[in-house]
Structure 1
Amino acid sequence: MSRVAGALWRSLPAWQVYGANTGVGKTVLSTILCKVSSRFHPERKVWFLKPVSTGPLEDADDGRHLNRYARDVNSKCLYQFNQPVSPHLAARRPSDTDILDSISQQLGTWAKEGPGFAVVETAGGVLSPGPNGSLQADLYRPLRFPVVLVADPRLGGISSTIAAYESLSIRGYDISAVTVFTDAYYKNHEYLEDFFGEKGIRVFGIPFPPARDEHSVSKDEKSMQAFYEDVINHPNIGNLLAALSTKHERRIGELGTMAARANDVIWYPFTQHQLVSPSNISVIDSAYGDCFQTFTNKPADGDTTNNEVLQFSFDGSASWWTQGLGHGNPDLSLSAAYAAGRYGHVMLPGGIHEPALSLAEDLIDLLENPRLKRVFYSDNGSTGMEIALKMGLRVSCDRYGWDASQEEVGILGLSGSYHGDTIGTMDCSEPSTYNKRVEWYRGRGYWFKFPTVKMCKGQWVVEVPEELQEHLFDNKTFSSLGSVFNLEHRKESDAAYLYRDYIKSTLQELVQRDSRKFGALIIEPLILGAGGMIFADPLFQHTLVQVVRENPQLFSSRDDLPPPSPATSWSGLPVIFDEVFTGLYRLGRRTSASFLDVHPDISVHAKLLTGGLLPLSTTLASEDIFNTFLSPQKTDALLHGHSYTAHAVGCQVALTSLKKMLHMEKSGYWNSFVDDWTSANALLKKATATTTSDPVESENPVVWSSWSHGLVRDLSYAESVEGVFALGSVLSISFRDESGGGYTSAAASGLQSKLAQGSPGFNVHSRVLGNVLYLMASMTSKPDELRRIEQMVRSALLL
């Protein structure tokens, strides 16, 4: 993530020159572009930038070549390595971020000097490594300059040129033009004109430069000078420059009109369109890592002629909770391309393909839940939960002898939960802004109110809803977040017994007094996302599952009920965990279920499953739930499916995503975050040792967040903040709201507005849920990048 700005300026059209190989004439093409622009557009300055150059100065300084033959051009090399860098100098290498920042800063400075034209030349081929080993196409990708690709005119050059084009395309670059030195023998240009013409990319043939005169420097310079003087008058050169200028103007024009056009034709989800105008629609040109590049009409430093057109916007909603491995991740893109090329899409029923089978096996192993043995594929979290609901209700009705067509069978859940927008899953939530205006909604169930966790005034608090305090206890404080999660210690506490009595007595009243029937227990482990980022007390959720499993007689008066189950069979009610949002490392662990020390009978995973690239969902179930659907009659089967069930592209991407996150876990990728929270918890425990009965901090489970403990602590003291928590990649800030507006509250909009305003070249995209503003990192976020966001939050709240 560049710390400076985007890579598009109104006054400075800039192109990146990539070569299909080494020695194909990138510098010659750069010199031609600069020279012809200087000759025919004297009103604008011409700039040449070489970010990284390697080798002896006399051979590698392309700026010297350019200045020799295009004297009116301003050139600069940012980083010159005269020879291979030895290990003891490795620490002096510029980081990839430093290189990107230097490029953006330099071009931004030039853009302020008036109308211009810039060429940014790479070194070597498209996939040549940069100073830190990153492939060039990946190193420069955050800036996403439009590309002029210099084709290889030599034997084998067609192959290397197309390979270079595909490598750039798969990473999201726009190829503005292809140039090739024409050769009467190989005639690569003729084939490439046809190949790229079908893709709408023009190929510009350029006469070959003269062969290098190894015996006379002066003769060599004279022949090259004559070549340049002739070639700039070649019609293709003028056409090339005109085409590039047109593309630049068209790109800016398109960005400038997209918001208004979208406002005319797009129907946005979860949006009251009467409140929408083009001015509050974000136009996203591209995305990479944790950031969007978004269109901005703000002039830089008040200069309306040389302003930046793009800015970096931190994706604070992790693209609505899906982002795991960063936008534009090349490994995921390559996996998708591989599966698309190998399979396209093939139907699943009655067949199998390697990505679907491997993903099912890997997912069962990764989740380490002895109950889960079967994987049912669908296309998103809502449908995954719809399938889980069908499974749960069927097995309960089968065991208890209920006929759901004659009597209502509901679910048990938690107040504020939300499981999706399909009709069945909507009915699994109590009436709310999301569903009460949906005409088919009925709301079939009972939803427990429950204690929540937040940090207030520097202390972790388990806060009990006022209406439950007569059944439970007053709010309890804990010295660290780890001690809240120490269920081994807390399971024998007074709170656990009070929870158990409250849950059991409530269920007895519902079933015995009110004659209600329930077919499943559905829980979002730890964090209820759409309900407002509500952090549930893990002890309450653990206890709820245990009471349901240990007391099957609560749900039916039959005398032949099976006793409480062994480890892998369901008992009482099938327990469904909605881990669509919280699963697969979102909270810092493979599963959010592991925090609760219980294994669900059915578990649903989506969002991070494919690292944020593609829609895919899995509903995992136990073998005994699967067996309930076995019958000679097809009507007894689970008749649910989608045309794109287990689509190979999504499964292949998910395999790559899971393997990468598992590697990150095992390699200690998140250790710096863990260390921050571990040390902070230990200090906090020491400071409060005389006021709490918590266990020794080293006995607590490891609980951490990529958002710093210091930020969470400081936010908890802010006057406007009611409570705050962070876990894994999630940060949630609840603001005081005397109006009690709930989902319609505007209490968090002030911070949202300040973050959106940002600073020159950078802002933060965020979403609010009523009085709650949340920010979400990806699993690849780096500490220094997140600390920058944190500083913006601090400044906005005057911390």
Structure 2
Amino acid sequence: MAPVGSMLWRTLRTYQVYGANTEVGKTVFTTILCKAARSLYEKEKISYLKPVSTGPEDEADERSVSPHTAAKGRVIPSDRRLLRLIHEHASQKAASGPGWLFIETAGGVHSPSPSGTTQADLYMPLRCPVVLVGDSKLGGISLTISAFESLRLRGYDVEMILMFPDRTHGNHQYLSKYFSDQHVGLPVLALNEPPPPQGRQPSAEAEFQVMSRYYQEASGGDVARNALTQLEEKHDARVTRLESMAAEAHRKIWYPFTQQRLLQPEHITTIDAARGDFFQTLVPQAQRNSAAAAAPVGGGVLLQPSFDGSASWWTQGLGHSNPSLTLAAAYAAGRYGHVMFAEAVHEPALALAESLLAGIRNPRLQRVFYSDNGSTGVEVALKMALRATRARYGWDARDPIIVIGLKGGYHGDTMGAMDCAEPGVFNEKVEWYDGKGVWFDYPTVKCVRGRWVVEAPEAMRNEDGVGSNQEFGSLSEVFDITEREQRREQERYENYVAKELKRHVDHGRRFGALLMEPVVIGAGGMLLVTGTQNWRPSGDEEDDAKTTWAGLPVIFDEVFTGVYRLGRFSAGSFLAADADVSVHAKLLTGGVVPLCATLASESVFRAFASDDKTDALLHGHSYTAHPVGCQVALESLRQLRALDEGGRWDWAKARKSNVHASDDGSTTLSTQSGIHKDSKYRPVVQDAPWSIWSAEFVELVSRQAGVAGVWALGSVLSIHMDAGGGGAGYKSTAAVRIRDSLRRGARDDRENTWNVHSRVLGNVLYIMGSQKSMQEDIREIEELVRERLKSLQ
């Protein structure tokens, strides 16, 4: 079943009617709007829909029963199925010509739906603008404001508040002023209440006549007509704005990582909203023209679901507009706003530090330093490690120190982090770039023609000649560090590293740290790196490997790969190694706000201890440890931990995976000190490598013409296209055709359109799910990718 899109058509004005409470007059106001529209727009279709009710059709809402209670004992449709039915109904109305559709909810804003999901959360993907019916009774001021804020927190556009005037409590007058002061332009309109029943037991006919006169008068009055006029204007303004945004952006915005001389407005994706794994994007004009030609009466829907295949630049893990993360941000903003952090503490910052140190299970790491993004977090890590090395070896502050890194590794766009990357496309034209490192090649892993191949780096191939690659039956075998070390497979790579290091040391170079992205090289080409990287420069053997560093401090840049991106809290666990400094961002806050945490060992921390203030780590940001970010990160970690411990990923682990688990479904990882342990040195058992992308899919893609190799781990899928004579790398255009083909979208069996919004890194197309991706969505994307790869042959 394809995902559900937002409901926006050019000629069908769709509004959802919410109530601040039960019995506030939702049905009365919706009836008035429908009747007024029928009079004012005589040639248009006027429709009414109530998707959820509490009883039989002839008794709807007459019983005091919540929808989820009324649904007991009945077949309950899934939330997605219910939304699909609503969308299909609206599509039929749009196809019949211009008109209005009013969708009435049941009860209050947070009244449960049949599945138990509150209606405020249930209807979010449809993104219908809202007419909120306020409460005119005692206590109604509070309920109306609370209902408005609940909707606002979930991204609803509340376009108008309707209510009955109340001369006893003055609710209408108060709310008119309140919303005028707090939310400029939000109208609060009042319509007279229906007349009370005519006697104790009025006849049905008499009651009908009374209500008919009421509806006739109310719908023909200025208030109802004014309300419709304003709603029509808002609808037209929304459509006009959406259709003009790309052109306006092309004139006014400077885009990142984009050669704008080559960019045309039609290549800019207009995103109206996002929910779960999907953006809601404006359907391209050419596609809309085609739909209009096929259905000239009503035209096509203006918005379509677009799977967020880059996880919004790798930040998204718990779904867009996650209500719990939004509420966490609002709570911290309401409690603190922003407060300075130097020599101060607040609960979110302390609790997050405790949660991170406990979750990473690295006995070395005992300190947390906060900054605002991954690049600055790496800068902090470099300052920490280089100072610790200089202090240990007594080097003069003026002596140049360089880092050891990996070819293709990239750690951000600030100057210090950029200098730790080898010369390349990202920095070759940056005026102040001055690479300060030595960068080693490494073995990479891909599924090629159905086999997992560890490809030796160029330097090792030059030494050993043909036949230096290795084949494995599964990704679990590749990352079985203990078994591979027992076979002494790592020695070839260690010898290569030792030889290169000696050559540089003999030339007088001094190294201050090893900086690397564990397991996956991200911006450098989405490369999966084999587990033979768990080498650590030899040094003070007596220090042991438990809590302090030997040789050089090791920095793991887990900005992209950490916090369950690859199925585990820490990507470093795949290497059976513990870092001395570890950098975490991206998924840390689930894509809501920027925040980075750099974790360090106590021995690195002590390198800055002194009676001289200038020896301190003189680094900080205005928004260091900002409470909003820390509170969101706490909630993000809580949800991710619950997903891990609650079995939500079992469908991916239990599928015939692209990795093979051991007999008990797990592997035990060894480190330099033996068994991988947590802070109390208890054995830690890690899941075998697993992926949301199925083994069958990975193997099939690996056999497609034009595909050089593919890998999948955790939520990440990386397809390496054959670059041909043009060469691989960031400048390659080999993956552009498949990216563009996926953006052209697909249709399900009901003609609903959706597509995949993805990015490429040269010849590499990568697609990322979230940690909450649904199996059915991943399966449909797999089918679309297979289809499009086949069509490009």
* TM-score above 0.5: yes
Matching of residue 385 in structure 1 with residue 365 in structure 2: no
2:9 aligned partner: 9
- Kept after mapping to 1: 8 A contact 2:308/2:756: yes
2:485 aligned partner: 491
Tell me, which stretches of 5 or more residues in structure 1 are unaligned? 63-79, 553-560, 685-698
1:571-590 superposed matches below 5 A: 571-590=550-569
1:599 aligned partner: 578
Q: Partner amino acid for 2:27?
A: T
Indicate how the Cα distance of structure 1 residues 680 and 353 shifts in structure 2: closer, same or farther if over 3 A, else same. closer
Q: Partner amino acid for 1:726?
A: A
Could you give the per-residue CA deviations for residues 355-405 of structure 1, whole angstroms, max 9, x where no partner exists? 001000111001111100000000000000000001111111111222342
2:608 aligned partner: 629
- Kept after mapping to 2: 8 A contact 1:483/1:700: no
Select the residue among 689, 701, 710 that pairs with 2:696.
710
1:523-562 superposed matches below 5 A: 523-539=516-532, 541-542=533-534, 544-545=535-536, 548=537, 551-552=538-539
Indicate how the Cα distance of structure 1 residues 710 and 340 shifts in structure 2: closer, same or farther if over 3 A, else same. same
Give the Å deviation of 1:97. Answer: 0.3
Select the residue among 91, 96, 99 that pairs with 2:82.
99
In structure 2, distance between residues paired with 1:151 and 1:2: 35
- Kept after mapping to 1: 8 A contact 2:588/2:636: yes
Q: 3-state SS of the aligned residue for 1:469? A: helix
Matching of residue 505 in structure 1 with residue 486 in structure 2: no
Indicate how the Cα distance of structure 1 residues 701 and 228 shifts in structure 2: closer, same or farther if over 3 A, else same. closer
Give the Å deviation of 1:4. Answer: 4.8
Matching of residue 204 in structure 1 with residue 189 in structure 2: yes
Could you give the per-residue CA deviations for residues 408-427 of structure 1, whole angstroms, max 9, x where no partner exists? 21100111000011101101
- Give the percent of matched residue pairs that are identical in Structure 1 and Structure 2: 49
Q: Partner amino acid for 1:519?
A: G
1:444 aligned partner: 436
Give the Å deviation of 1:86. Answer: 3.5
Q: 3-state SS of the aligned residue for 1:411? A: strand
- Kept after mapping to 2: 8 A contact 1:6/1:310: yes
1:70 aligned partner: none
Could you give the per-residue CA deviations for residues 435-461 of structure 1, whole angstroms, max 9, x where no partner exists? 111111111111111110000011100
Select the residue among 115, 124, 138 that pairs with 2:107.
124
Backbone CA RMSD of aligned residues: 1.9
Give the Å deviation of 1:233. Answer: 2.1
Q: 3-state SS of the aligned residue for 2:105? A: strand
1:23 aligned partner: 23
Indicate how the Cα distance of structure 1 residues 419 and 8 shifts in structure 2: closer, same or farther if over 3 A, else same. same
Select the residue among 734, 739, 742 that pairs with 1:747.
734
2:155 aligned partner: 172
Select the residue among 150, 170, 191 that pairs with 1:187.
170
Q: 3-state SS of the aligned residue for 1:631? A: coil
In structure 1, distance between residues paired with 2:258 and 2:545: 47
- Kept after mapping to 1: 8 A contact 2:2/2:754: no
1:222 aligned partner: 209
Select the residue among 766, 771, 789 that pairs with 1:774.
766
Matching of residue 569 in structure 1 with residue 548 in structure 2: yes
Give the Å deviation of 1:61. Answer: 7.1
Give the Å deviation of 1:682. Answer: 7.1
Give the Å deviation of 1:498. Answer: 1.3
Give the Å deviation of 1:352. Answer: 0.5
Q: Partner amino acid for 1:425?
A: A
- Kept after mapping to 1: 8 A contact 2:6/2:128: no
Count of residues paired in the alignment:
749
Matching of residue 337 in structure 1 with residue 330 in structure 2: yes
Deviates further, 183-192 or 330-339: 183-192
Matching of residue 310 in structure 1 with residue 297 in structure 2: no
Give the Å deviation of 1:195. Answer: 1.1
Could you give the per-residue CA deviations for residues 256-288 of structure 1, whole angstroms, max 9, x where no partner exists? 111111111111111111111211111111100
Indicate how the Cα distance of structure 1 residues 212 and 664 shifts in structure 2: closer, same or farther if over 3 A, else same. farther
1:65 aligned partner: none
Select the residue among 253, 257, 264 that pairs with 1:277.
264
1:798 aligned partner: 790
In structure 1, distance between residues paired with 2:625 and 2:53: 46
Matching of residue 734 in structure 1 with residue 720 in structure 2: yes
Select the residue among 227, 252, 255 that pairs with 1:265.
252
Deviates further, 519-528 or 289-298: 289-298
1:33 aligned partner: 33
Give the Å deviation of 1:232. Answer: 1.3
- Kept after mapping to 1: 8 A contact 2:292/2:299: no
Indicate how the Cα distance of structure 1 residues 683 and 389 shifts in structure 2: closer, same or farther if over 3 A, else same. closer
Indicate how the Cα distance of structure 1 residues 81 and 663 shifts in structure 2: closer, same or farther if over 3 A, else same. closer
In structure 2, distance between residues paired with 1:322 and 1:234: 51
2:417 aligned partner: 425
In structure 2, distance between residues paired with 1:623 and 1:81: 55
Q: 3-state SS of the aligned residue for 1:193? A: helix
1:556 aligned partner: none
- Kept after mapping to 1: 8 A contact 2:476/2:661: no
In structure 2, distance between residues paired with 1:422 and 1:641: 14
Q: 3-state SS of the aligned residue for 2:164? A: strand
- Kept after mapping to 2: 8 A contact 1:2/1:142: no
Give the Å deviation of 1:701. Answer: 5.5
- Kept after mapping to 2: 8 A contact 1:602/1:621: yes
- Kept after mapping to 2: 8 A contact 1:57/1:82: no
Select the residue among 370, 375, 390 that pairs with 2:368.
375
2:668 aligned partner: none
Could you give the per-residue CA deviations for residues 566-592 of structure 1, whole angstroms, max 9, x where no partner exists? 410111000000000000000000110
Indicate how the Cα distance of structure 1 residues 616 and 220 shifts in structure 2: closer, same or farther if over 3 A, else same. same
Q: Partner amino acid for 2:159?
A: S
In structure 1, distance between residues paired with 2:397 and 2:87: 63
Give the Å deviation of 1:735. Answer: 0.2
Could you give the per-residue CA deviations for residues 618-673 of structure 1, whole angstroms, max 9, x where no partner exists? 00000011111011111100000000000000000000000111011111110000
Matching of residue 351 in structure 1 with residue 344 in structure 2: yes
Q: Partner amino acid for 1:736?
A: D
- Kept after mapping to 1: 8 A contact 2:701/2:707: yes
Indicate how the Cα distance of structure 1 residues 153 and 81 shifts in structure 2: closer, same or farther if over 3 A, else same. closer
- Kept after mapping to 2: 8 A contact 1:324/1:778: yes
- Kept after mapping to 2: 8 A contact 1:325/1:780: yes
Q: Partner amino acid for 1:201?
A: L
Matching of residue 660 in structure 1 with residue 639 in structure 2: yes
Deviates further, 751-760 or 133-142: 751-760
Q: Partner amino acid for 2:306?
A: S
In structure 2, distance between residues paired with 1:736 and 1:5: 35
1:644-659 superposed matches below 5 A: 644-659=623-638
1:458 aligned partner: 450
1:254 aligned partner: 241
1:643 aligned partner: 622
1:157 aligned partner: 140
Deviates further, 500-509 or 456-465: 500-509
Give the Å deviation of 1:681. Answer: 3.3
Deviates further, 526-535 or 495-504: 495-504
